[in-house]
Structure formats: structure tokens, C-alpha cells
Amino acid sequence: MKTTLPEVLAPAGSLEKLKVAVLYGANAVYAGGQKFGLRTAADNFTLDELREGMDFAHARGSKVYVVLNSFLHDKDLAELPDFVRFLEEIGADAVIVSDLGVVRTVRALSKIPVHVSTQASTLNVEAAKFWKSMGATRIVLGREVSIKDAGIIRREADIEIEMFIHGSMCMAYSGNCVISNFTQGRDSNRGGCAHSCRFEYTLEDLATKEKKSAFFMSSKDLQGLRLLKDFIDAGIDSLKIEGRMKSHLYAGTMSKVYSEALRYYEEHGDFLSDDLLNWEKELSKVSHRSYTEASLENPAGAESIFNERENNSAAEWKMVGTVLKSSPESGIVIEVRNAFNQGDELEILPFRGSPVTVVAHEIMDLTRKTILRTKPTTIVRLPYHAGINSSQLVRQKSV
């Protein structure tokens, strides 16, 4: 019997990131419009961009889910119907919703499938049954649920299940933190989260009067690569990567690694590959906090706390640019984000397969004048290299 593999669902914080994620293998992406989502500070999509992103993804066999997962207030909800009708018109594959009022509104206006957001903290079979009875077709489980329990929920509630496999994590039950609301006047559940959990706190134990300083509410990042087989065996439908605010390199690397790993499984029926180490190396090349498997196997314990200041997060590699064009005539044309020098070793991430190492023996500017060092926000040419295509990401090991 052929095993059905879960989809890789990648974040798309902008139209460019959507294209990157799809090209690097994401089976689906999730994106937000200018309203109704939880990433107010992200670029997000205009209506034109949503339409273009939908067409781009669909043309390549990928799906697009649109987030409506704010806890909408009445005035927000009043603005929702026009947007829902628009989403149905452009063929959105689903909307991601955390509020019952939004579920009811979407259901009343359209046939767009409804996925219940992790913000709703759905944690058990009965909760999944409830949302199913409200018309939901998929549950994005709370990050506190183990893979084993997720499989039980999948079977007993008979509904599609999506689980986070990678990315930053709320320490609180999602949707159950209002620190920003009451301390900074910013509604964390409408996109205004101030990330108060990432700061250091001095804590006085009231019994011992002892004081200690700690980042006690900050969670390590989730990384579930080694548990892929468990996700598959549990019948999980979708593996979600957090991070709409994160970089193009992040969107591309995550989409590539997880989709390649699943393709390997499809071909070999296991993950017993040297590639596993390579995939893990790839995941470590993007900026991240220390990794944890959190509650995927057992409830997250003390080891899941990221008791460090944020800027200590690891970033072994930096993104130096994006390939804009690659042909024998043009050479490899790169939009430079971080400077590099003549002679530097760069890696270009192909959409499939191992990174291609390119040494910048010769760098030219757009007018074909030779230069020794690039500058950010410029466009340069490297000599043509077969197999390199536009939209591929260029990275360099951090010094």
C-alpha cells in the first residue's frame, strides 16, 4: 500500500517569499492579506499580489492558504465578507481561522475550506470534533500535542490534521497570551505581539526569597526532522513551518529540506540516509535559536527553554543575494543583499539537490565593469554556471 505523505506547508510573508517557497518544493504556502492576520509588521500581500501568488503556486501544483487567524473584533469582522468573496474568486485553497465568528462568517459566504488555526489551541479529539461540527475541514493542532496524540485525533475525529514541524514557538498555549495587550496596548492576538516572552525577567521565589534572572518564558525553536517517520506513520496531513516574518533564505531552505526528505522517503521507504545529516546541517545554516523537539514526543520540559538573549541565536550562514537571471548571455545576475569579495566562496541553492559552490573569481557590475567587492543593494554578474536559475538563493558562510 502506498503511503500518503504529508504536505510541506511553508510560510509566505511576501509574494517573493511565496515564490521562493514554492520553487524550493513547498506543497503549500500560507500567506496573509493586509488585514485579519497575526503578522501586522510583515509585508503581507496586496489583493493583486494574492492573485498573482495564487496563480504562481497553482501553476506549479502548490496550494495557498490565506490566514484570517486574528481574534477579530466586531468592526474587523464587518470588513471580512468582501475579502472572503475575493479569496473565493481567486481560488484560495483554504483559509486559516481561529475564531468561531470567523468560521461562521466564512461558512456562510463561501465554500472555501476552513482550517482551524493553532491559535485556537485545539488539543484533543473532542475539540477537533467540535470544530468539525462547525464546518472545519482541517485542524492545525496546538504545539503541545504529541505526534502520537495527533494520530489519535486524526483517526477518532476523522479530520485532516496539520502540525508544526519547524520554527519559533510560543511558550504559552497559542492565543492564551495577552502580555502585549495589557502592558503595551498592542493586541497580541490581532498581530501586535511584542514578544515579551523573549525578554529577561528577574524572578523572586516568594518561598525562599531567592532572586534569579532568566529568559524563563522563551522557548527554543521547534525542529522535528528526525521525527518525520512518526508524522507519516501517524497519518498527519500537513507539516507546517512557522516563520512568515523570516527571511527568503529561511523560506527556501526549510521548503527544500523538508520536501527533499519526504521525497527521499517516498523513494526509499525510510530515512536511513547519510542525507539526514546533510538535511540537519542545512537547517542549522539559517538563523535560529537552539532547536528542540518540544512536545512532539513527550511534554516539553526544562530543556525546551531558551535561556539566552535573542541575539545569541545561531546563524552560520548569511544570505548574500538572489539570482535574478542566469543565462550564457547575462551570466549569473545577482541582487546583492550582503557584500562579498572577489575570490569568496559562495553557495547557490538549487531548487533540488546539493548546493552548488561557486567561487567569485570574477565579479562584474551590471555594465560589465569588473569590481573587487560588491555592495548591498546593487546588482552584479558572476560568470555563467550551468544549472543555476533565477530566484535561487545565494549564501555564504559567516566569518
Partner 1 sequence: MKLTGFAENLHELSLLKENGTEEVILGMRAFSRFGRLDENTFFPMVKRARELGLRIIFEWDILMTEESFKKTVADISPFLDVADAVRVQDPGAYHWAIQQTKKPLQFVAENGNHNIEALLGWCHAGAGRIERIILSIELSRDSILDYCQKLPVPAELLGLGRILLFYSPRSLLSPLNPERETVNEDIHALGESEESPHKGFPVLENRHGTFMFHIKEFCLLDYASDLKSLGLSFLRIDQRFNERNFFPEAAKTANREKMFESFREEYPQELMRGFYHVNKSDVLFPKLKNMRLQNRSGDYLGEVLEAEKGSHLAILVKNLRGIRVGDKFRIVHPKGALFEGEIHSLKDVNMTEQTFIPHDDLAIIPFINGVWVKSQVFLSTTNE
Q: Are 264 and 181 in contact (CB under 8 A)?
A: no
382-394 b/e (C-beta count within 10 Å ≥ 16 → b): beeeeebeebbbb
47-61 b/e (C-beta count within 10 Å ≥ 16 → b): eebbbbbbebbeeee
Smallest distance, Å, CB 198 to partner 1?
A: 9
Smallest distance, Å, CB 162 to partner 1?
A: 16
Smallest distance, Å, CB 287 to partner 1?
A: 20
Smallest distance, Å, CB 338 to partner 1?
A: 14
What SS3 class is residue 80? helix
- Cβ distance to partner 1 smaller for residue 198 or 263: 198
- Cβ distance to partner 1 smaller for residue 181 or 287: 181
The β-bridge relationship of strands 221-223 and 370-371 is unpaired
Interatomic CA distance for residues 96 and 203, integer angstroms: 37
- Cβ distance to partner 1 smaller for residue 217 or 254: 217
- Cβ distance to partner 1 smaller for residue 35 or 226: 35
| Residue whose grid cell is 485579519 | 36
- Cβ distance to partner 1 smaller for residue 2 or 211: 211
Three-state SS across 93-126?
A: CEEEECCHHHHHHHHHHCCCCEEECHHHCCCCHH
C-alpha cell belonging to residue 338:
550582503
Entry field: residues in the chain: 399
Smallest distance, Å, CB 53 to partner 1?
A: 12
- Cβ distance to partner 1 smaller for residue 27 or 122: 122
- Cβ distance to partner 1 smaller for residue 358 or 364: 364
What SS3 class is residue 380? strand
Q: Are 374 and 340 in contact (CB under 8 A)?
A: yes
Smallest distance, Å, CB 300 to partner 1?
A: 5
Nearest to 117 by CA among 164, 75, 58: 164
Smallest distance, Å, CB 142 to partner 1?
A: 8
